[in-house]
Chain A
Amino acid sequence: MPAAESHVAHHFPDLEVQSHAARLGMWLFLATEVLLFGGLFTAYALYRMLYPSAFHGASRLIETSMGALNTVVLITSSLTVALAFHYSRQSRNRLAALLLVATIGLGFVFLGVKAVEYAHHFREGHLPGRFYRYAGLQVPGASMFFTVYFLMTGLHGIHVIIGMGVLTWLAVGAWRGSYGGDYTTPIELGGMYWHLVDLIWIFLFPLLYLI
Chain B
Amino acid sequence: MSPSPASIPPAPADAGAPLYLERNYLNARRGLWSWLTTLDHKRIGVMYLVLTSAALFLGGIFAMLLRIELLTPGPTIMSALAYNRTFTLHGVVMIFLFMIPAIPGIFGNFFLPLMIGARDVAFPRLNLLSVYLYLTGAAIALYGMIHGGADTGWTFYTPYSTTTVTMVWPILLGAFVLGMGSIVTGLNFIVTVHTLRAPGIGFMRMPLFVWALYATSIIQVLATPVLGITLLLVAVENVFGFGIFDPARGGDPVLFQHMFWFYSHPAVYIMILPAMGAITEVLSAFARKNTFGYRAVAFSSLGIAFVGFFTWGHHLFTSGQSTVDAGIFGVLSMFVGIFTAIKIFNWTATLYRGSIAIRTPFIYVIAFLFFLLFGGMTGIALATVALDVHWQDTYFVVAHFHFIMVGGTVAGFLAALTYWWPKMFGKSYSERWGIVGATLIFLGFNFTFIPQFLLGNEGMPRRYYSYPVRFWPLNVASTAGASVLALGFLVVLATLLLSLKYGKPAGPNPWGSRGYEWKTLSPPPEGNFLTQPTYPRMPHDYDDLNPGRGGH
Contact = CB atoms under 8 A, between A and B. Distances in A.
A175 B250 CA distance: 52
B60 interface: no
Contacts of B316: none
Nearest to B231: A39
A93 interface: no
B249 A130 contact: yes
A143 to B, nearest CB: 6
A102 B386 CA distance: 62
Contacts of A24: 190-191, 194-195
Interface string A116-142: 000000000000111000000000110
A46 B255 contact: yes
A29 interface: yes
A43 B255 contact: yes
Contacts of B244: 43, 129, 144, 147-148, 151
Given A46-B252, A128-B243, A129-B246, A11 B228 contact: no
B226 A39 contact: yes
Interface in B205-222: 221-222
Contact of B250 (A17, A39, A50): A50
B249 A25 contact: no
B236 interface: yes
B264 interface: no
A33 interface: yes
Nearest to B226: A39
A72 interface: no
A17 B195 contact: yes
A115 interface: no
A87 interface: no
B250 A151 contact: no
A11 to B, nearest CB: 4
A35 B369 CA distance: 35
B524 to A, nearest CB: 14
Interface in A1-18: 9-12, 17
Nearest to A20: B195
A42 interface: yes
Contacts of B196: 11-12, 17, 21
A144 B229 contact: no
Nearest to B254: A46
Contacts of B242: 128-130, 147, 150-151
B183 interface: yes
Given A35-B222, A143-B249, A144-B243, A28 B119 contact: no
A5 B299 CA distance: 38
Contacts of B240: 128-129
Contact of A36 (B123, B190, B225): B225
A50 B244 CA distance: 13
Interface string A18-58: 00110011001101110111111011001100110000000
Contacts of A128: 240, 242-243
B265 to A, nearest CB: 15
Contact of B233 (A20, A143, A151): A151
B190 to A, nearest CB: 6
Given A129-B242, A129-B244, A39 B249 contact: no
Contact of A32 (B118, B183, B236, B241): B183
A39 B195 contact: no
B33 to A, nearest CB: 20
Contacts of A25: 122-123, 126, 187-188, 191
B250 A140 contact: yes
B259 A42 contact: yes
Nearest to B227: A39
Interface string A89-108: 00000000000000000000
Interface residues of B, number: 43
A28 B226 contact: no
Looking at chain B's contact residues, the main secondary structure is: helix
B258 to A, nearest CB: 8
B255 A38 contact: no
A60 B225 CA distance: 31
Contacts of A17: 195-196
Nearest to A154: B236
B243 A130 contact: yes
B251 interface: yes
B225 A32 contact: yes
Nearest to B527: A10
Nearest to B224: A32
A12 B122 CA distance: 8
A129 B225 contact: no
Nearest to B228: A36
Contacts of B428: none
Contacts of A147: 242-244, 249, 251
Given A32-B225, A51-B250, A144-B251, A11 B118 contact: yes
B378 interface: no
Q: Which has the most chain B C-beta neighbours within 10 Å: A32, A148, A151? A: A32
Interface string A140-179: 1101100110110001000000000000000000000000
Contacts of A36: 225-226, 228-229
B124 interface: yes
Contacts of A38: 225-226, 229
Contacts of B517: none
A59 to B, nearest CB: 16
B230 interface: yes
B281 interface: no
A29 B224 CA distance: 12
B236 A50 contact: no
B388 interface: no
Contacts of A130: 241-243, 249
B151 interface: no
B250 A144 contact: yes
B221 A31 contact: yes
15 contacts: A21-B123, A28-B191, A32-B187, A32-B222, A36-B225, A38-B229, A51-B250, A128-B240, A129-B237, A129-B241, A129-B249, A143-B249, A144-B243, A147-B244, A155-B229
9 A-B pairs with the lowest CB-CB distances in the bound complex, closest first: A129-B243, A39-B229, A11-B120, A129-B242, A11-B119, A35-B225, A36-B225, A21-B195, A128-B242
Given A32-B225, A129-B243, 17 more contacts: A10-B527, A21-B195, A31-B221, A39-B225, A43-B244, A46-B252, A47-B251, A47-B252, A50-B250, A50-B252, A128-B242, A129-B241, A129-B244, A130-B242, A144-B251, A147-B249, A151-B233
